[in-house]
Amino acid sequence: MTSKETQERYHKQRSKACQGQVRVWEYSQSKISRMIGMIRLAIAQGIRFDYLLIESWFTCYEWVHFIFTRRIGCHLLGMIKAGKTLCVFNGKSMTNSQIVDELRKKRKMKRSKLLSCFYGEALVDFKGMKVKLFFCKTSHKGKWHGLLTTNTKLSFEEAYKIYSTRWTIEVFFKEAKQHLGLGKCQSQDFDAQIASTTLCMLQYNLLSIAKRFTGYETMGELFRQAQTETLELTLNERIWLIILQIVTQIAELLETDAELLIRKLVSENEKLSKMLNLNSIRQAG
Kindly report the CA angle at 123 between 117 and 126, in degrees rounded to 5? 115
Find out whether 106 and 159 touch, Cβ atoms under 8 Å: no
Query: % helix / strand / coil in the chain, to the nearest 5?
Result: 50, 15, 35
More confident residue, 189 or 219: 189
Beta bridge partners of 92: 89
The verdict on residue 3 lying in a domain is: no
152 with 217, same domain: the answer is no
Both 103 and 130 in one domain: the answer is yes
Number of domains in the chain: 2
Once rounded to an integer, what is the mean pLDDT over residues 38-53? 95
Same domain for 255 and 150: no
Instruction: Give the burial string for 139-164 (b: 16+ CB within 10 Å, else e).
Output: beebebbbbbbbbeebebeebbebbe
> Residue 283 — pLDDT band, cuts 50, 70, 90?
very low
Mean pLDDT value of segment 21-27: 87
Q: Tell me the pLDDT band of 285, cut-offs 50, 70 and 90.
A: very low
Residues 6+ apart with CB under 8 A from 3: none
| Choice between 237 and 82, residue whose per-residue pLDDT is larger | 82
| Domain membership flag for residue 15 | no
151 and 112 share one domain: yes
Confidence of residue 211 (pLDDT cuts 50, 70, 90): confident
The number of C-alpha atoms within 13 Å of 261 and in the hemisphere containing its C-beta is 20
Last residue of a domain, one of 165, 183, 204: 165
Q: How far is CA 40 from CA 36, 47, 198, in A?
A: 6, 10, 20
Query: What is the predicted pLDDT for the residue at 52?
Result: 96
Q: CB neighbours (10 Å) of residue 18?
A: 11
Which residue, of 122, 143, 165, is where some domain finishes?
A: 165
Q: What is the mean pLDDT of residues 58-65?
A: 94
Look at residue 229 and tell me whether its pLDDT is greater than 50: no
Those residues whose C-beta lies under 8 Å from the C-beta of residue 122, and which sit 6 or more positions away, are 89, 99, 102, 103, 108, 132, 133, 135
Does a structural domain hold residue 13? no
Average pLDDT, the chain: 82
The pLDDT tens digits for 63-78 are 999 999 999 999 999 9
Query: Would 48 be classed as within a structural domain?
Result: yes
Asked whether residue 250 falls in the same domain as residue 137, the answer is: no
pLDDT of residue 145: 93
Domain that holds residue 183: 168-284
Residue 98 vs residues 103, 179, 198, 202: alpha-carbon distances, Å: 9, 44, 43, 45
Using CA atoms, how far residue 174 sits from 19, 168, 245, in Å, is 28, 10, 21
